[in-house]
Amino acid sequence: METIQQLKLYAKKVVQAGLVVGAGGNLSIREGDIMYISPSGFDLQEIEDHQWVRVEISTGKILGDLKPSSEVLMHLACFRKRPDIRAILHAHPTYSVAVSSTGNMIPPLFPDFPAMVHNVSYLDYVIPTTEILANAVADVISDSDVVVMRNHGVLTVGKTMKEAYFYMQLTEESAKVYVIACTMGKPRILTEQECQELRALSSERYRQTLLRNEVQ
């Protein structure tokens, strides 16, 4: 099944890229009114085909015996708010967590980040796995493809899992560049005009189209 293969592919990518450790992180893909989501307590790269949990998006009903990720409410909230998205990824990328825990935002320091990631929302710390967090994410997800949760992690959404994963990579790389730059001096942050000029480039719009249309 294509959906399962996509989930397995990006589950391994997330672990191999160091975006999660242990049994951390979760991801899901929508198929109609059904969400396929990683099971609770599993190392993402060790999930077998039959272990991805099916959940009805409209009702929250779990279809099967395994327990879904403890962040299932957050995934449901995003799918209910954003009928345009098909994939959700939640990870705990080191540099993004580090920068956000200081109260700072992750600034645009190189072209790819502002060109591809147009809106980032920041949430102050909310206890994970709760309805409180799910509601907080739901309040901002309509206008954002990236949500940075201070002292916790990052959530990205996309029309494909490839798009959601790319947003996660760019956010973490931007946080990493920022941390490194700060150790050497005061970073020059791209201006809003420079960011808008990047977003207007036809090459960047083409890349966005590829991310949203490709299968993997």
Is 71 a catalytic site residue?
Answer: yes
Residue type, 183: T
Pairing of strands 87-91, 120-123: unpaired
Which is catalytic among the residues 56, 71, 194, 214? 71
Q: Which long-range contacts (CB under 8 A, 24 or more apart) does 77-80 make?
A: 77/134, 77/135, 77/137, 77/138, 77/141, 78/137, 78/138, 78/141, 78/155, 78/157, 79/28, 79/30, 79/35, 80/138
Nearest to 122 by CA among 142, 144, 95: 144
Write out the two tokens for 43.
């190392």
> What's the Cα-to-Cα distance from 50 to each of 36, 190, 216, rounded to whole Å?
11, 46, 20
Which residues, including other chains, have CB under 8 Å from residue 83's CB and lie 6 or more apart?
none
Write out the two tokens for 88.
């959700």
Using alpha carbons only, give the angle 137, 140, 142 rounded to the nearest 5 degrees. 110
Residues marked as catalytic: 71
